[in-house]
Structure 1
Amino acid sequence: MKVTINDVAKLAGVSIKTVSRVINNEPSVRKDTFDKVTAAIAELQYQPNAAARNLASSRSYSIGYVYDNPNAYYIIDMQNGLLDACRKQGYELLIHPTNAKSSGIVQEVLDLVERSRLAGLVLTPPFSEMPEIAKALEQHNIDYVRIISGSTPSEKLKHCVLIDDFTAAFRITNHLLDQGHTKLAFLCGDEEHSSSGERLAGFQAALNKRGIVLPNDYIVPGSYSFESGVTGARKLLSLATPPSAIFACNDEIAAGALFCARLQQIAIPSQLAIAGFEDSPFSRQTWPPLTTAHQPNRIIASKAAELLFKAVKLSDSDPYLQQPVFVPELVVRESTRSE
């Protein structure tokens, strides 16, 4: 039979209301009582019913994840990270894929929160970078946490998890320069994503520091997709003076560039070095494996959810909270490693 809150209360020797207060993390519970109840929950392996709690309480125990991103690996990591945090806190997760470019997207997000009675939202790009979304949520007193590209915490950003794309891209570029490359090209991601601009800025900063100036056609606009990598690499490799190294804005683009190069019988990395970004499965499934920057998306998502839970409990008493900064770490693999 399914374990109920009554079973937990009986084993702990407390009232059902006390068990409920512990589950809801209410601060008024004494430590010894809290310990007894949590021990009983663990022994019985009790799982609170979030839907029932939502109906019985003025608080909501569900959060939402709104996304529009073609990268399936990114989405899966984000979902798993959010679920990790939700399970620890007894929350449910509502996943809502949608079109960020829809004319009615702001109202759609607001309707989602109201219809599903959500405690708050976790937003990833491009939603996290849309000021109209943040403004509407604040006007309706809806808690949210954004995952965005950046390196400097600021009170203007409110609740955010920052990813320092600039520094990571700077380090990848330095690695390529240290391998002896001076003809470096860059394959861009979608320009509406701030991560694209930050990664390009890090790339250019590393080149500027060493006094290297590149031709304009070494920087190729594109999108975060395998196909964009194929198309962009084809353009670069058809130049009269092609680059000796390509830094792609993410691993999907890099995998596409690698595919294009192999079709042209170009040896990797002796004739062309290729690096990506994010350390998605794409980077490990290619041959040779891709040098990249490890971005711990699951941990990032979990941290975002934890901040959201704090924001829900604190309401407006502390609108700043903390803004953790993640710097993706350089991972050197065979696609750039010299013999």
Structure 2
Amino acid sequence: MDLTSPPAPPADPLGAALHHLRMDGAWYFRSELTEPWRLDLPPMGDCLWFHVVTAGRYWLSVPGQAPRQVSPGELVLVPHGQGHELWSEPGLPAPPVIQDIPHEYVSERYAILRHGGGGKSTSLVCGAVRFDHPTGYGLMARLPRLMAVADPALDATLRLLAAEARELRPGGETVITRLADVLVIQAIRSWLGTDPAARAGWLGALRDPQVGRAVALVHREPARAWTVASLAAAVAMSRSAFAARFTELVGEPVMQYVTRWRMHVAVGRLRSGEVPVAVVARELGYLSEAAFSRAFKRIAGVSPGSVRRAGPLAGLLG
């Protein structure tokens, strides 16, 4: 690959990372609940669960976390797909939401759920979404186990979502799911701007004027035959200064990170089960399937074939 004309680094590396947070919705549902009620949400593998309360209040319990009450204006994310419970009050039996509660399916992936004892009402819009880009699932691995976001920047989107949820008009399912996706991205953006954990590793490095642009280049063109020298030249730094600053900010040497990111991309390709390992190897610039497989096992600890057989492996690359 020609290294004489390296691509121009993005002016906003953090914005470029957010641009790649494309979601593949696994399932969305609108819940109309009346007290007393309790729901058991199942584990969803590599999905991110979200819950938006559009009317009323509820309690949420995630294993290992203290229960918390959620009010209108708050968006709750369960980023690692853990099973969890929602309830109007403690001590109630929890029927599995998918198996035991009737749903009115508006489309294959959108349902309306009605449940409860006829008392005070609570309305929720919930869903489980996957990211379909390595930036997305690389970022998800760094998110906390539970996120509750109450950011004024989300208010306008929350109001739109609540208005659509009150009465499902023609096309309402599409509007609700798109608004839900926007809310998830807004919540992650809020977390990036406020949580100290977002300032570590490659996420934190994106804020550096030069190393951030180099990281964004690797993310944009993982198959390019990058070297420490070519990345340093692309961001107008000397090789030695760039290598030292990259390791300091990202937490690992340049080429180790390049390889690790290629394996993130590989997981995304392999998890579908549709692309042969040899094709993935060629797409990422490896001259042979054997060389790719060795690199993958060194980084991931398992063979590429085991990823295909086991399906998505949450947190595989940390």
TM-score by length of 2: 0.30
Name which structure has the greater RCO, CA cutoff 8 Å, separation 6+.
2
Higher strand share: 2
Larger Cα Rg: Structure 1 or Structure 2? 1
Q: Which has the higher helix share?
A: 1
